[in-house]
Amino acid sequence: MAPITKREYVLADGRELIYFDDADSTLNPDRKPDARVLDPRPTTATMRQDVLTGEWVSIASARQNRVFLPPAHLDPLAPATDTNPSEVPDNYDVAVFENRSPSFGPELGDVPAAGSIGIGRTHPSIGRCEVVCFSPEHEGSFGSLSQSRARTVIEAWADRTAALSALPGVEQVFPFENRGEEIGVTLSHPHGQIYAYPYVTPRTRRLIDQVDALGPDLFEQILTSERASERVVLSGEHWTAFVPFAARWPIEVHMLPHRHIPDFTATNEAERDELSSIYLRLLRGIDALYDTPTPYIAAWHQAPVTEKRDEIRLMLQVTSPRRAENKLKYLAGSEAAMGAWIGDVAPEQAAAFIREGIAKA
């Protein structure tokens, strides 16, 4: 089979556009140029520091103008037509481009000084935000892809993780998929995003503290413990998916590689091939739990660009607020205000339920 092929272009306003053609693609290798006349890109947003926590908040007002649940004939992620001058000028298998209204970027440069805290402290929201279109179809999700297409998306994640990690000022790269209006999705087109942050995110900072406290083999300890439990939902030669011991969400599944891998760039061909199958089985199983598609966030946690790369392992975390067929878990007082979680479903019970969904799918 031919290799997955990468083809690089530039959009009318200078943003990067990359096509990734399936190994079994039937598309013409030559793609149309972007013939639109576009306004200049918005200026880079500004981050403000929360002095109570030291965390950064990007104030990205340009995001207010993004498209909200358009009909199929106006889908901005579909291949362009004469009546729909979309973001992608030609047909594609997988397409990646810089977000037109990003939370971070397009400016690159120096990161804010680590450890400094002060009232009124600001810094440009440097970095990069990219959109990853999984398919030219108007509706769907990662779970609706063919295995060949899923493998192409994984190749794109690896390629973009390497490229974004090399940009000046990027400290961490985060591929993710938001699925479902209940999550806040504004486009039904099957797609994900990649954020390249100018700092190590708060969640990862807390993880680093745990690694320092429990040892550099923390992820190996977790994997050994979970693989011996009744919470495993899927396992292959290279990957294991499980409901974590202290799951917060009604549906929550984590997946780890069996060897230490800091990010997608470090995965080998066999690991990527198996992932394209086992990840589809997991998402389709979660969708089979009920008669309607399940909303979720699929978050690929990767090691920071320069810190703890020998200790923090690539990890998928899929979470859904769906606690029953017609009920959602809302983050109210204890969770939202204090960060003190109360689980609605025992993790062992959730794992058994998810295994049933996988078997059904």
Could you tell me the residue ranges of all domains in the chain?
Answer: 5-125+132-147, 204-360
Task: Let me know if 191 is a catalytic residue.
Answer: yes
Which one of 123, 189, 191, 301 is the catalytic residue?
191
State in words which class domain 204-360 has.
alpha beta
Can you give the pLDDT of all 361 residues of the chain as single tens digits?
679 999 999 999 999 999 999 999 999 999 999 999 999 999 999 999 999 999 999 999 888 777 888 999 999 999 999 999 999 999 999 999 999 999 999 999 999 988 899 999 999 999 999 999 999 999 999 999 999 999 999 999 999 999 999 999 999 999 999 999 999 898 999 999 999 999 999 999 999 999 999 999 999 999 999 999 999 999 999 999 999 999 999 999 999 999 999 999 999 999 999 999 999 999 999 999 999 999 999 999 999 999 999 999 999 999 999 999 999 999 989 999 999 999 989 999 999 999 999 999 9
**Which residue pairs from 164-168 have beta carbons closer than 8 angstroms and sit at least 24 positions apart in sequence?**
164/128, 164/130, 164/194, 164/196, 165/196, 165/263, 165/265, 165/305, 167/108, 167/127, 167/128, 167/196, 168/108, 168/109, 168/110
Q: Tell whether the torsion through CA atoms of 111, 117, 118 and 120 is positive or negative.
A: positive
Tokens 């493998």 — which residue? 151
Tokens 């358009």 — which residue? 70
